[in-house]
Amino acid sequence: MRFISQTSSDGVTERLFNLGETPGVLWTPEGADGARPLILMGHGGGQHKKAPGIVARAHHFVVEGGFAVAAVDAPNHGDRPKTEGFARIAAELRAGMVAGEDTTAQFVAMHTFLAEQAVPEWQAVLTALQELDFVGTGRVGYWGMSMGCGLGIPFLAAEPRIHAAVLGLLGVHGLADTAARVTVPVRFLLQWDDDMVPRAQGLELFDALASADKTLHANPGKHGEIPEFETGSSLRFFTRHLG
Amino acid sequence: MRFISQTSSDGVTERLFNLGETPGVLWTPEGADGARPLILMGHGGGQHKKAPGIVARAHHFVVEGGFAVAAVDAPNHGDRPKTEGFARIAAELRAGMVAGEDTTAQFVAMHTFLAEQAVPEWQAVLTALQELDFVGTGRVGYWGMSMGCGLGIPFLAAEPRIHAAVLGLLGVHGLADTAARVTVPVRFLLQWDDDMVPRAQGLELFDALASADKTLHANPGKHGEIPEFETGSSLRFFTRHLG
């Protein structure tokens, strides 16, 4: 893990890093010393590791909970080059959206394509982060909405070092079998009027998770309109399971 | 309002009262002085004002939030006499349950029958409670599951002095039009494996509420198995809206 920059403001230290070809960012309390629980955050489709929704929640988790928080650019996202395979899948998805078609199959194809690379990358990043003395090998959580959920579920199914996860904004298509291998406590966020994920599909994905301890939080509003109070609620969820 | 008894333990003062023919109980912080927000709690079918689930939550709201909390015996419940009309409806419900039939219609009939009396009783109790100098005319919340939701929705639709409510464990049958007149912030608790309320019916009742600010919390488990952490979450909801 190679650190590129380090800046601090408002009590949060931000370090940009590369691990192999994976660009990432690590936020910790300013002056953090010693081990602390870690939250990994997966961004949405077309977004990147420092998307506003990621940064705002990460700062909240660091300042109010004392967590370390890390995000990476998913394959073909953010600062990373786009491959031909990805460009083809993205073009099919765009074409379907422009035509007003049901693009479920294209989203599933994209998440499946990306997860194959994203899961081992997350695992390597987690290993490297746990070697840092101000992170350590304590409990680890995962937060990911939409594509961050679509890549997060295979990650959770493959990775026993994750103890709890906040997921959501995604439907069941292509994920039922993988979700049935997720057993850690899950908070699942669903937008009741989601304009990208049919309500029934979101409810089915929640249903498919094998976790005995799982809670669905559904709020009115469209895909991107999760109410702000859910951030504090997610923090309390992580504190209960990782603290 | 006639007070019958007053006892204190663990920082909570409990007063039993009668208002006309309505027996009730009021919990406040020990030594409470001056106005404070009030939470009214509606018990479930066949239960009473001091059912364990009511008492435990009331104590939590008083001790951790400084609220005043009141519960009453619903008509034909607890210390109250049972009328012939109620006995007939209850017998029909029992017969349907014993026969393993769908008892939705019988539950709706019972709640409709009870609400006609329960709503004006709650309104009179609220008026009397607000005249107490250690309660006052501040903000008021309502908490009610199952039958407490079935009587609570007509109460909320009729009573503008309620500012927020925690409802749940009930389906939409017979309540859609009334729920469409509820506009205050609502937290709605649904048990994902409810053995008394079909999941789709519970989701439809949440959907029918007109409130712009409403959140569904769904957890695995049967009708009576709401996880304990939802009590703290309800307290934070009430604190946010009534505090």
* A85 part of a folded domain: no
- Tell me: the pLDDT tens digits for A112-164? 999 999 999 999 999 999 999 999 999 999 999 999 999 999 999 999 999 99
CATH number at residue B135: 3.40.50.1820
Chain B residue numbers touching A227 (CB-CB < 8 A): 213, 215
**Boundaries of domain holding B73:** 2-242
Q: Give me the torsion for CA of A39, A40, A43, A49, rounded to 10°.
A: 100
**CB of B238 less than 8 A from some CB of A:** no
Rounded average pLDDT per 10-residue block, chain B, 243 residues: 97 98 98 96 97 97 98 97 95 92 91 97 98 97 98 98 98 96 98 96 98 98 96 97 95
Residues A45 and A77: their CA atoms lie apart, in Å, by: 8
Per-residue model confidence (pLDDT) at position A192: 98
**3 state DSSP class of A109:** helix
Scanning every residue of chain A, which has its alpha carbon at the shortest distance from the alpha carbon of B204?
A192
* A47 part of a folded domain: yes
**CB of B227 less than 8 A from some CB of A:** yes
Number of structural domains (chain A) is: 1
**CB of B206 less than 8 A from some CB of A:** yes
Q: Which of B213, B214, B229 sits opposite A240 (nearest CB)?
A: B229
Chain B residue numbers touching A212 (CB-CB < 8 A): 220
From the CB of residue A91, how many other CB atoms can be counted at a distance below 10 Å? 11
Nearest C-alpha neighbor of A168 from the set A197, A140, A136, A129 = A197
Nearest C-alpha neighbor of A164 from the set A115, A233, A216, A237 = A237
Residue with tokens 């439809």: B204
Query: Can you give the pTM of this predicted structure?
Result: 0.93
From the CB of residue B95, how many other CB atoms can be counted at a distance below 10 Å? 12
- Backbone φ and ψ for B159, nearest 5 degrees, come out as -120, 105
Residues B179 and B208: their CA atoms lie apart, in Å, by: 6
Q: Cβ B215–A216 below 8 Å, yes or no?
A: no
Q: Strands B164-168, B186-191: parallel, antiparallel or unpaired by DSSP? A: parallel
Q: Cβ A219–B214 below 8 Å, yes or no?
A: yes
Per-residue model confidence (pLDDT) at position A144: 98
Could you tell me which residues come within 8 angstroms of residue A88 by beta carbon, excluding any fewer than 6 positions away? none
Residue A189 and residue A217 in contact, taking contact as beta carbons nearer than 8 Å: yes
**CB of A220 less than 8 A from some CB of B:** yes
Q: Cβ B218–A220 below 8 Å, yes or no?
A: no
Scanning every residue of chain A, which has its alpha carbon at the shortest distance from the alpha carbon of B211?
A220
- Tell me: the pLDDT tens digits for B219-235? 999 999 999 999 999 99
* A58 part of a folded domain: yes
Residue B177 and residue B108 in contact, taking contact as beta carbons nearer than 8 Å: no
Q: Cβ B203–A203 below 8 Å, yes or no?
A: yes
Q: Cβ A215–B215 below 8 Å, yes or no?
A: no
Q: Cβ A217–B215 below 8 Å, yes or no?
A: yes
Scanning every residue of chain A, which has its alpha carbon at the shortest distance from the alpha carbon of B212?
A220
The three-state DSSP-derived secondary structure of chain B is: CEEEEEEEECCEEEEEEEECCEEEEEEEECCCCCCCCEEEEECCCCCCCCCHHHHHHHHHHHHHHCCEEEEECCCCCCCCCCCHHHHHHHHHHHHHHHCCCCCHHHHHHHHHHHHHHHHHHHHHHHHHHHCCCCCCCCCEEEEEECHHHHHHHHHHHHCCCCCEEEEECCCCCCCHHHHCCCCCCEEEEEECCCCCCCHHHHHHHHHHCCCCCEEEEEECCCCCCCCCHHHHHHHHHHHHHHC
Q: Which of B203, B214, B220 sits opposite A212 (nearest CB)?
A: B220
**CB of A219 less than 8 A from some CB of B:** yes
Nearest C-alpha neighbor of B224 from the set B51, B87, B62, B49 = B51
Q: Cβ A220–B206 below 8 Å, yes or no?
A: no
- Tell me: the pLDDT tens digits for A80-108? 999 999 999 999 999 998 999 988 899 99
Per-residue model confidence (pLDDT) at position A200: 97
How far is the alpha carbon of A217 from chain B, nearest alpha carbon, in Å? 5
Tokens of A24: 């990432």
| Pairs from A97-101 (Cβ < 8 Å, separation ≥ 24) | none
ipTM for the complex?
0.89
Residues A58 and A41: their CA atoms lie apart, in Å, by: 8
Instruction: Indicate the pLDDT class of residue A72, thresholds 50, 70 and 90.
Output: very high
* A63 part of a folded domain: yes
* A60 part of a folded domain: yes
Q: Cβ A229–B217 below 8 Å, yes or no?
A: no
Q: Which of B215, B220, B229 sits opposite A214 (nearest CB)?
A: B220
How far is the alpha carbon of A116 from chain B, nearest alpha carbon, in Å? 31
Residue A8 and residue A109 in contact, taking contact as beta carbons nearer than 8 Å: no
Q: For chains A and B, what is the number of CB pairs under 8 angstroms?
A: 37
Scanning every residue of chain A, which has its alpha carbon at the shortest distance from the alpha carbon of B218?
A216
Query: Residues A53, A56, A62, CA angle at the centre, nearest 5°?
Result: 135
